C-alpha cells in the first residue's frame, strides 16, 4: 500500500430514514475511477406497493470481514485503516464465496468480468482527504462521511450503531447505521 493520509477519525454513517430513493449515490459511485461505470452501492425499495421507503446498501467494512475470511484466493485485502478492498483482479477466481458469505449481502459478482467488485470506500478519494462520492452527493445526507463527534452533534435524535448480531455471529463494522436513541446493537434474526 502506498503511503496515505487516510484520516481514521472519519467514519461513514447511513440513515435510511432520510433516503429519498433518488439514486444519486449509485450514479456518483459509478463515476469513481476504479469502478468502470458500475455502482458499488445499491438502492432498493423495501416494498414499493406499500411505501416509498428505500434502503441503501454499501459495504460495511467489517472489522473481521467474512468475505475476506472465506476467499480461497486471498483476493480480498483489509488495509491497516480497516478498509476492506475490492477483489484483487489478478487473484479473484470468481468463485462467489464472498458473495454468499457476506452477512450484509454486499459483494456482487460482475458476471461480465468474472470478478467480485465492491465498495472500497472511495479509497482514491478518502486517502486524499476527500469524501466518498456517494456520501458527498447524497442530497438528503442519508449518507454522511465525517467524524462521530460531528454526527452526534448534528443529529441529536439518533445514535450511530456499528455492532450487529446475526444469530450467534457478532459483527462490528467501520460503517455506522443511524438508529433511534438508546440503540446499541442491531439484532438480525
Partner 1 sequence: MAKLPTSVDKIIKEHGPHAAYPPKSGFEGSHEPDKLVKTHCCYCGMQCGIKLKVKNEKIAGFEPWMEFPFNEGRLCPKGVQRYMQNNHPDRIMGPIQRVEGKGFDPISWEKAMSKTVSEIQRIQKQYGNDAFAMLSGVSLTNEKSYMIGKFARVALKTANLDYNGRLCMVSAGGGNKKAFGLDRSSNSWADLKHAKVILVAGANISETFPTLTHYIWQARDNGAKLIVVDPREIPFARTADLHLPVRPGGDSALFGAMLKIMVDNDWLDHDFIENHTSGFEETIEAVKDYDLEWAEKESGVPKDLIYKAAKLWGEANTSFLMHARGIEHHTKGVENVLSCINLVLATGRIGKPYCGYGTITGQGNGQGGREHGHKCDQLPGNRDITNPEHRKYISEVWGIDEKDMPGKGLTAYEQIEAIHRGEIKGMISICFNPLVSLPNNNYVREALEKLEFYINIDTFLSETARHADIVMAGSLHEEEEGTVTTAEGRVVKINEAVPPPGNCRRDGEILMELADRLGAGNKFSYPTSEDIFNELRVASKGGTADYYGITYKKVVDNMGVFWPCPSEDHPGTPRLWEDRKFATPDGKAHFNPVKYRPASEVTDKEFPVVLTTGRVVSQYLSGTSTRRIGKLIDQYPEPLMEIHPKMATLYGIEDRDLVKVKTRRGEAEFPAHVVETIREDTVFIPYHWGGKFSANQLTIGNLDPVSKIPEFKVCACKLIPTGKKGSETRTETAYQSWL
Residue 51 contact, options partner 1, ligand SF4, none, Cβ 5-8 Å cut-off depending on partner type: partner 1
6, three cell numbers: 487516510
Q: How many residues bind partner 1 (CB under 8 A)?
A: 35
Residue 135: CB minimum distance to ligand SF4, A: 8
> In sequence order, what are the residues at sequence separation of 6 or more whose Cβ sits closer than 8 angstroms to the Cβ of residue 144?
12, 13, 14, 15, 135, 138, 151
The residue within the footprint of partner 1, chosen from 10, 11, 14, 24 (CB under 8 A), is 24
Q: Which helix (H) or strand (E) holds 137?
A: helix 133-137
Alpha carbon distance 103, 108 (integer Å): 13
Alpha carbon distance 162, 150 (integer Å): 16
Q: Which residue lies nearer to ligand SF4 by CB, 101 or 165?
A: 101
Residue 5: CB minimum distance to ligand SF4, A: 27
Span 130-159, contacts to ligand SF4 by CB under 6 A: 138-140, 142-143
Residue 92 contact, options ligand SF4, partner 1, none, Cβ 5-8 Å cut-off depending on partner type: ligand SF4
Amino acid at each position: 500500500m502506498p503511503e496515505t493520509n487516510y484520516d481514521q477519525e472519519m467514519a461513514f454513517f447511513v440513515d435510511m430514514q432520510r433516503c429519498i430513493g433518488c439514486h444519486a449515490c449509485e450514479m456518483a459511485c459509478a463515476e469513481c475511477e476504479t469502478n468502470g461505470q458500475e455502482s458499488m452501492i445499491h438502492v432498493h425499495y423495501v416494498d414499493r406497493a406499500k411505501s416509498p421507503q428505500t434502503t441503501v446498501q454499501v459495504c460495511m467494512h467489517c472489522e473481521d470481514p467474512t468475505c475476506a475470511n472465506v476467499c480461497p484466493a486471498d483476493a480480498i485485502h483489509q488495509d491497516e485503516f480497516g478498509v476492506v478492498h475490492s477483489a484483487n483482479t489478478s487473484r479473484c477466481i470468481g468463485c462467489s464465496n464472498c458473495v454468499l458469505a457476506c452477512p450484509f449481502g454486499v459483494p456482487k459478482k460482475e458476471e461480465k468480468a468474472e470478478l467480485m467488485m465492491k465498495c472500497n470506500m472511495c479509497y482514491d478519494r478518502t486517502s486524499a482527504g476527500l469524501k466518498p462520492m456517494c456520501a458527498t452527493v447524497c442530497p438528503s445526507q442519508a449518507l454522511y462521511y465525517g467524524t462521530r463527534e460531528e454526527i452526534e452533534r448534528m443529529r441529536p435524535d439518533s445514535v450511530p450503531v456499528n455492532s450487529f448480531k446475526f444469530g450467534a455471529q457478532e459483527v462490528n463494522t467501520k460503517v455506522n447505521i443511524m438508529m433511534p436513541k438508546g440503540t446499541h446493537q442491531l439484532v438480525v434474526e
